[in-house]
Structure formats: structure tokens, C-alpha cells
Chain A
Amino acid sequence: MDLAELFQLFDSTLRNATPLLLACLAGLFSERSGIFDIGLEGKMLAAAFAAAAVAAWAAAPYVADPFPGQLSGLGLGWTAAILGVLAGIFASILMALLHGFASITLRGNQLISGVAINFLAAGATVLIGESLFSMGGQTPQLSGNARFSGLDLPLAETLGGIPILGPLYRDVISGQVILVYVALLAVPLTAWVLFNTRFGLRLRAVGENPGAVDTAGVSVVRMRYSAVLIAGILCGIAGAYLSMGTSAAGFVKDMTAGRGFIALAALIFAKWRPYPALGACLLFGLLEAIGSKYQNVDIGLFVIPVQFMQALPYILTVVILAGFIGKAIPPKAGGVPYVKER
């Protein structure tokens, strides 16, 4: 394997890890506040659809683009793409509020509410998609300014001459869709918010002992809704990335393909901490990249089938969720609706 091939692998690792990372951080905010969220998958799916549908509509020829090509240098592709992301976030927030209403206000079972959101998203996206576009539940292919394209970071070509690090910067770090950078920057931001701000302190406390937060004069309901809302925003960006920032360039039925659950596994693997979450998501991204790059691996005795290679991330998910990797202690009040003592 030469260096170029390795960088190619890293490049797709980064792209694969992005939606996982955003969803994983979404889960982190929600679960740190004591609201279990297995609806990451559904929120992402709804966001992917809403983003692709709105972008396709916004980019359709009869909508005039007032400043053609104005922002194309940033790879943003003007309003269609931005509108798409906003629509994705909006759809995901709606789902998140539904989850919040069921599990915070009505004090329902958080797992059931999460499952319901996954089913709702899987069904509604195809149904609405078919009635809008009549393409079997898909959205039209996004092209040109309706999708995200790579963003060349400054000095990429100049520094490319430096051995190893130069090409690494030019071929892996640079040239990614802007949402990749958003996801990467979200990691230190999350860590900072969690451990250095008043909001973070209260968020962590409300997931451990909501009674302590309540008696300290802080509203448990408001804290938990904020957390669920943040999760909605992050899942929205993750979904928009899936349908607008990858080679798919459009919405396809069930396109999240279990990423919400993989993100959940990564969250447990990372023990609900931001930087380890980055590591876990990169690991899953790498496995996915290996699976799609090396399809039939001949190890001499026999050929490892392509299906096995592609199943790698899911196998790791099962291993993690079965608790083989250390003991992960979730936030203590997680999954339990808060009721004032009788």
C-alpha cells in the first residue's frame, strides 16, 4: 500500500465519520441530560429527506438565482444548499421536540418514543417523497449549486510539497465539504461547553441527579428541552450531510442505514465524552472505508467475502453494545422521567 492509497483511505474515513460524529454528539447532549435517544437514526433520516427535498426545490430552474455563482468559491452553492441544511435542521428539531414532549412533558418511556420516531421517519420520508416527486420515494439528484462540494483550504497546493504532511493536508484535510469541518469543530466546542460553562455543569447534573438541579432552583424541564433541541440541530446537520454532502447527492429510502445506531454504539464506546467520541467515530469510519475499498480480500487460504468486509462496522457495534469493551457507566438518571417526590 503506497502513501496515496493510505491517504485515500483516510479521506473516506473522514467522510464516513462525519455523520456519525454529528449524531454521536447529538446523542451526547441528549443522554448527558438524562434523555436516552435511540431516535438519532430517525432524526437524521428525516433531516436527510427534508434537506434534499428543499434543496432540489430551491435549485429547480424556475427559481431564479439572484446572484449566480456568487458563493461557489466557498463550495456552498448559494441559497439552495443553505436552505436545504436549514430545512434538515428544522425537520430534525420537529422530531426532537416530539421526543421531548413524549419523554419530558408526558414522562413517557424514552426508548419507545425513540423507536416511534425511527418508524415515523422511515415511513413519512418515503410517503412524502413519493407524493412530491413521484420517484419511488427518492428526491431528484442534486447537482451544481444545490449540493455541497469540496472546500479547498488555504495553501493546500503550496504546502502539498512538504513530504508526508503536505499531501496529508492537501488530500485528506483540505477539500472536504464544509459540514465535515463543522463536525470536527463541534468536538472541542462540545467539550468546552460541557466542562467550562454553567450550561454544561447543569446539563451534566440534570442527567445524574435531576433532584439536585431542581432543588438548586433550576428548571429540569428547561434543561432537558435545551439538550434535546441541541441534539435535534446536530442530527439535522448530520442528515443534511448525508443527502447533500456525499456522492449520493439526493435522498434515497433508508439512506441512514443504521448510522444512528452506530453513533449510539460510538457514544457508549466513548463513555459519553466528546474527544473519545471523535476517536470512536473515526474508528467506525475507518472500518467502513476499509469495507468499501477492499471488497474481496484474498488472504491466501481463502477469499474474505465482500459482505464480511462491509459488515465490519456493524460487527464492532454488536461487540461494543454487548459490553465487551470495558464498563461504560451511563448518566445515572438516564431514561428516567423526572417526577418531584410525592
Chain B
Amino acid sequence: MSVAEKTAGQPETAAPSAPAIELIGISKAFGPVQANKDISMQVARGTIHGIVGENGAGKSTLMSILYGFYRADKGEIRIGGVPTQIHNSDDAIRAGIGMVHQHFMLVQNFTVLENVVLGAEDGALLKPSLAKARKLLTELAHEYELEVDPDAVIHDLAVGFQQRVEILKALYRHADILILDEPTGVLTPAEADHLFRILEGLRREGKTIILITHKLREIMAITDTVSVMRRGEMTATVKTADTSPAELAELMVGRQVLLRVDKKPAQVGQTLMQIRGLRVTDRDGIERLKGIDLDLRAGEILGVAGVAGNGQSALLEVLGGITAASGGSVTLNGQALDLTAHADAGERREQGIAHVPEDRHRLGLIMSFSEWENSCFGYHDRPQYQKSRLLMDRRAMRDDAREKIEKYDIRPPSCDLAAANFSGGNQQKIVIAREVESDPDVLLVGQPTRGVDIGAIEFIHNEIVHLRDQGKAVLLVSVELDEILGLSDRIVVMFDGRISGERLPSETDQNELGLLMAGIDPKEGAA
């Protein structure tokens, strides 16, 4: 507390030249893995400093050292010019550091107020603390556009609001330095814009912000300086104004990366899948799909854009055989699909519909099972994996897994490791490899690059285009407009369980799609 107040009072006067944070020679190893190698970094007071890097580059480890989760093996941390020992989160808070974690550290059944006060209570009784927090929250809300109902329970709040609570928690603890770990991963574009306005407001007040992200667009939009990490080392620190996304991507990956997808024009064939009047009502009785008509043709990638929760997930799940439809029909190669609850995902796979689910942890993989097992799930009863009627052919499965590891450059290249031991990008490659190599007619893909680093994104995009060029149909659902625009041959936008518009990628842009995503059709408005 006292340290925080001291640093808060000295931005211009005491040590104007001292950087807010200075890391000197930080190293940290987990067993044989060197997560951080001799990292030095300075962040000037009152600036927004971005840290980019692929998954596993050591960004999170570095920030965890700064927030007291881990202790560095070597190196020194200086806060406001003062060498500081940070052994645990309490020390970090005392030094004026606040952190907004990627997975929010909130108690779901507590109110906003209780979450803010937790751990920073003034005394043994709650009442005075809660009253004080309520007053401060209203002040902060006005100052930084951080409005949130103090009495709302967390699990009733949208993620954007939950994130505000995390920021409020840090500010309530007098944080001068705010670390945000992948803050926009779960936000809609509008929520992300709001977050950036909040961050700009905090910068105006002299707060120092560290933004960890893998989205180069955000780095370019909001940061003052940016550091790039690769394989545990800090490869560069540059002024944002002096760099470009392409340069940053190259620094991250260590080679040139194509940010645009390189693809030939589509050779569109006949219609493979015909969807008519498709309706889905979920278990809570809410209608998720309200009559969808779509034609999916051979040799094209159909992109489905939309803010999360407007029916895209329901569409993928009903086509993938996970949920039942409440109305409508779907034909594949002229044959009607069974849309009742009797159908299952295995049956769809036999019919030639492969599915890369949106949530790979929940639906795509069994995290505690080995790579080779995950590499054939869903297809494990195909003849090539069978020794006899009763026994699986483990050797065939493992050989098959090794082939996929090689072809898809899955790292580390070991089929005996549990799926949980792979990074997000490599986990996604396991799923993509499994589904693409099953040789489907139709590939359903949900959020193919969520939580995936840049090098792997390029690879996954190329695989999807490659499948299209073989004359297959791809249905791509993504909340990333860049991805939709770059990859699709045709785009539909979903809003509130319906299709609110269809566009060709060459004839539209982010703004128009953004309006359609909000349920407004600019063309209809003009006519």
C-alpha cells in the first residue's frame, strides 16, 4: 500500500527518468526447458507497451515472474527505479502491479463488489470495506468508462463486463502498472474497442500498461512501444510507429510470414450440401437457429461471420451430428441427413462430414489421452485401425499418428505425449490433421485459429485452402473478420439465428460486415 502510494505520487517529480518497470537479465527454466533467457526490458511510465510472440515464446512466464507467480532463477526487477523482490502476488500488488489474467480470476457466484474487495479488505468486518469499494467504484466508473453494476453477480455478466471487474480490481488496489494477458481473445469487436478506450484513459492518467497479445492489429492500434519474444528470448524492442505488422510477424516467427492467405480463384463445382429451413431449439427452449437456407458447393470455402452467440455454434453442432434439429432439412449429395437425436457425430463422419469443433478442449480432444489416441478418435473403428473384430491395431494407429505429426509439423514430435502437453497451436494441428486426413466431402471448421500462434495460423489456413482445391466443400465459422475475409470464397453473416446477408469477399469490407453482424443491412437501408 505505502509503496503504491509513493510511486503514485512521483511520476514527474521524484525520478522522471526512471522507467516504471525495468527487467534486467531475467532467466527462468522449468526443468530442461529454458522458458526465459536473459531477458532485459524497460517500460517507460505512462506508456502502453506491447509484448508479442508465439505461444510458448515465454510471454506468460515473464509476466508471471513480474506478478509473483514464479520466481526467476536469475535477474533483477526494478519498479520505478527501485530494486524489488516479488515473491508472491501480494508483493506484486504492494509494488503497484495489477494483472488481468487471460482466464479471469473471479469468483463466479460473488457480486462485483465482493470480487473487488476480496483480498484487499480494510478490516475483519466486511461492511466498511464494501461501502468504501462501492464509492470508489462509482468514481472509477465515471473516470475511465468502467461502468458495471456493483451488485451484479459475476456469472450474470457478459465477458466484456467481467473484464472490467478485473481492471477495477487492479485499480482498487492502487495499481500503477497494469498487465493484460490476451485481453481481447474473448471480446467482440465492439467490446475490444471499448477496452482500448479504457486503456487510453488509463494512459492519460499516467498508468503504465503492458499488453500481451498475438494480434498484430491491436499492437499497431494502441501501443507506444512493442517487444517481440521468440523461444524464450527477447528478440527486439521497437517503437510501434517505426514498425509494421509484417516486420513484427517476421520477428516473431523468425522467417517471412504471409499475413494474407495466398490462394488461387475457387473452382466451384456442384452443390454438395443443401440446407433448407434449418431450425434448432436448445435445451433451455431458446431457438438458436430460426430457419437457415444455405448451399455448400464443391471447391469453395463458405465463411460464416457473426458475433459469437448468434447461432454459428448451433449450426456447426447440428450439422456435425452433436445436437438435433427442431425443423428443416439437410441433404448431402442428394441424400437426406438424419437430423433427429438418433443421429450422432460418428454417423456424420461415415457420411463424409468432418468437423473441427470450435472448442477443441471440450469437443475436439481428450486432454489426458496421448497424441496418437487423439489422432484417430472418431475414426478409430475404420478398417485400417482394426486388427480383428475385437482388437484395435495400435501399431497402425501409432504409425498413422507419426505420419500426421510429420506432415503437419506437430511439435514436439512425439505421439506418446498427452494432448495437454502440446501448445494450443499444436493441439489444433492434431485436430485439423485428424479431420482433414479422413478425406471428407465436407469440412466443418469452427474458430480454426483461436489461441493459435501466427506460424501455425498460416499452416492451418493453407491446409484449408488445399482441401478446397481438391474439390471439397468447407464451412468456416470464425469471429475473426480478417480470417473470414482472407479465407472465404463467399461470406454469409449470421445475426440472431438467421442469415442477415451474403457477400463476396472482393465486394465487401470489415465495416459492412460489422453492420450485418449487428443485424443492419446497409444495402436494404439505402434502397
| Apart from the given pairs A199-B124, A205-B110, A217-B89, 10 other A-B contacts in the complex at a CB distance below 8 Å | A196-B127, A198-B125, A198-B126, A208-B107, A209-B106, A211-B103, A212-B105, A215-B105, A217-B88, A217-B90
Cβ–Cβ contact B110 & A340, under 8 A: no
| A99 contacts chain B at the CB level, 8 A cutoff | no
Cβ–Cβ contact A212 & B126, under 8 A: no
Q: Which residues of A contact B (CB under 8 A)?
A: 195-202, 204-205, 208-209, 211-218, 332, 340-342
The interface-forming segment of B113-121, B257-265, B452-460 is B113-121
Q: Which of A196, A209, A211 has the most CB of B within 10 A?
A: A209
Residues of A within 8 A of B124 (CB): 197-199
- 16 sample A-B contacts, Cβ–Cβ < 8 Å, listed by A number: A198-B126, A208-B107, A209-B106, A209-B107, A209-B108, A211-B105, A212-B105, A212-B107, A212-B115, A216-B118, A217-B88, A217-B89, A217-B119, A218-B90, A218-B118, A218-B119
Residues of B within 8 A of A340 (CB): 69
Cβ–Cβ contact A201 & B99, under 8 A: no
| B123 contacts chain A at the CB level, 8 A cutoff | yes
Cβ–Cβ contact B125 & A202, under 8 A: no
Instruction: Identify the closest chain B residue to A208 (Cβ).
Output: B107
| B85 contacts chain A at the CB level, 8 A cutoff | no
The 6 A-B pairs at the shortest CB distance, nearest first, are namely: A216-B119, A217-B90, A198-B121, A212-B105, A215-B105, A218-B119
Q: How far is the CB of A323 from chain B (nearest CB, A)?
A: 19
Q: Which residues of B contact A (CB under 8 A)?
A: 30, 67, 69, 88-90, 92-93, 99, 101, 103, 105-110, 114-115, 117-121, 123-127, 129, 169
Q: How far is the CB of A32 from chain B (nearest CB, A)?
A: 12
Q: Which among A201, A208, A215, A332 is the interface contact of B117 at CB below 8 angstroms?
A: A201
Residues of A within 8 A of B127 (CB): 196
Residues of B within 8 A of A215 (CB): 67, 89, 99, 101, 105
Q: Which among A195, A196, A197, A205 is the interface contact of B107 at CB below 8 angstroms?
A: A205
Cβ–Cβ contact B118 & A213, under 8 A: yes
Cβ–Cβ contact A208 & B110, under 8 A: yes
Instruction: Identify the closest chain B residue to A217 (Cβ).
Output: B90
Cβ–Cβ contact A201 & B89, under 8 A: no
Q: How far is the CB of B521 from chain A (nearest CB, A)?
A: 42
Residues of A within 8 A of B114 (CB): 201, 205
Q: Which of A218, A332, A340 has the most CB of B within 10 A?
A: A218
Residues of B within 8 A of A332 (CB): 108-109
Q: How far is the CB of A199 from chain B (nearest CB, A)?
A: 7
Q: How far is the CB of B96 from chain A (nearest CB, A)?
A: 13
Residues of B within 8 A of A197 (CB): 124-126
Instruction: Identify the closest chain A residue to B70 (Cβ).
Output: A340
Instruction: Identify the closest chain A residue to B123 (Cβ).
Output: A198
Cβ–Cβ contact B118 & A212, under 8 A: yes
Q: How far is the CB of A226 from chain B (nearest CB, A)?
A: 13
Cβ–Cβ contact A201 & B121, under 8 A: yes
Q: How far is the CB of A145 from chain B (nearest CB, A)?
A: 38
Q: State in angstroms the CA–CA spacing of A110 and B227 once bound together.
A: 44
Residues of A within 8 A of B99 (CB): 215
Q: How far is the CB of A71 from chain B (nearest CB, A)?
A: 33
Q: State in angstroms the CA–CA spacing of A306 and B490 once bound together.
A: 77
Q: State in angstroms the CA–CA spacing of A309 and B271 once bound together.
A: 71
Cβ–Cβ contact B120 & A216, under 8 A: yes
Cβ–Cβ contact B125 & A196, under 8 A: yes
Cβ–Cβ contact A204 & B89, under 8 A: no
Q: State in angstroms the CA–CA spacing of A199 and B129 once bound together.
A: 13
Instruction: Identify the closest chain A residue to B122 (Cβ).
Output: A198
Instruction: Identify the closest chain A residue to B98 (Cβ).
Output: A215
Cβ–Cβ contact A204 & B110, under 8 A: yes
Q: State in angstroms the CA–CA spacing of A102 and B115 once bound together.
A: 29
Q: Which among B88, B109, B121, B123 is the interface contact of A208 at CB below 8 angstroms?
A: B109
Residues of B within 8 A of A202 (CB): 118-119
